Amino acid sequence: MTTKLKDIAINKHALALHTTTPELGLVISNFDGETRSQIWNLGRDLSSLVHQYLIEFIKPQTWADLSFIAVAKGPGGFTGTRIGVVTARTLGQQLDIPVFAISTLAAVAWAEAGKSQNIKTKTFAVEMPAQRGQIFAAIYQFEPDTSKLKVCLSDRVLTPEVWQETLTNWNTNYQLIQAQSGLAATVTSILELANLDWQEGKFPNWSEALPYYGQHPVEV
């Protein structure tokens, strides 16, 4: 699903990062026909290579060409999520541009909504495996009249039993999406969702970009 940025300055671009899995996803766009994206499976090397890949990827644009940055804030792997958010915050602070922290699950729902032509109002229940047998879960509704994604049930951690009970009692039809692999491919959705907020005049300070872990990395 694509959106067009109306107020971005000529030759200005926006950058998005997705690091919540062992894959690194990057996309840069001026929302006027020029978009580049790439995904690398870096595994354990993600933390040591992300800055190098960023520097190479952004060319021929420069950091001064960026109007805003978007980043997948989680849920996802603890280390990867932290790396992405810290990187985005650092760039936002140094460049004095806004940083949009976007839910990993929201990006999955947005990508799924974009697969359908002439989509009617549709609800997406997104689930992702969490640690210790639990589930990251959220429910979103795509509203075609406004081309927006409405949060019906915000991102949270549930037991499989509670999640199933929630779905059983949900009062509208929904499509269940299992977000398990290839999530870095939704980095374009991260950028598009941030773009929607940007078009509404939102200008979040870098300090507002916070990771969503949902769980402590170790059992306590």
* pLDDT mean across residues, the chain: 91
Give percent above pLDDT 70 in the chain.
90
Specify if 215 maps to a domain.
Answer: no
Residues ≥6 apart with Cβ < 8 Å to 63: 91, 94, 95
Q: Are residues 120 and 173 in the same domain?
A: yes
Q: Which pLDDT tens digit goes with each residue over 105-129?
A: 999 999 999 886 566 668 999 999 9
Provide the residue range defining the domain that includes 189. Answer: 13-104+182-208
CA 64/CA 81 separation, integer angstroms: 25
Digit-coded pLDDT (tens) for 6-16: 444 555 999 99
What CATH code is carried by the domain that includes residue 160? 3.30.420.200
Is a pLDDT exceeding 50 seen at residue 220? no
- The candidate with the shortest Cα–Cα distance to 220, out of 95, 131, 160, is 131
Same domain, 36 and 53: yes
CB distance 35 to 29 below 8 Å: yes
Residue 109 has which token pair? 């729902």
The reply to whether 17 falls in a domain is yes
Q: Give the pLDDT band (50/70/90) at residue 89.
A: very high
Domain-embedded: residue 217 = no
Q: How far is CA 111 from CA 47, 84, 183, in A?
A: 26, 20, 10
Q: How many domains does the chain have?
A: 2
C-alpha 176/C-alpha 192 separation (Å) is 22
Give pLDDT, residue 218: 44
Separation of alpha carbons 177 and 124, rounded Å = 7
DSSP structure class, residue 9:
P
What burial letters (b/e) apply to 162-182, b meaning 16+ CB within 10 Å? ebeeeeeeeeeebeebebeee
N-to-C CA span, the chain: 41
Span 27-37, average pLDDT: 94
Q: pLDDT of 48-74, one tens digit each?
A: 999 999 999 999 999 999 999 999 999
Largest separation between any pair of C-alpha atoms in the chain: 51
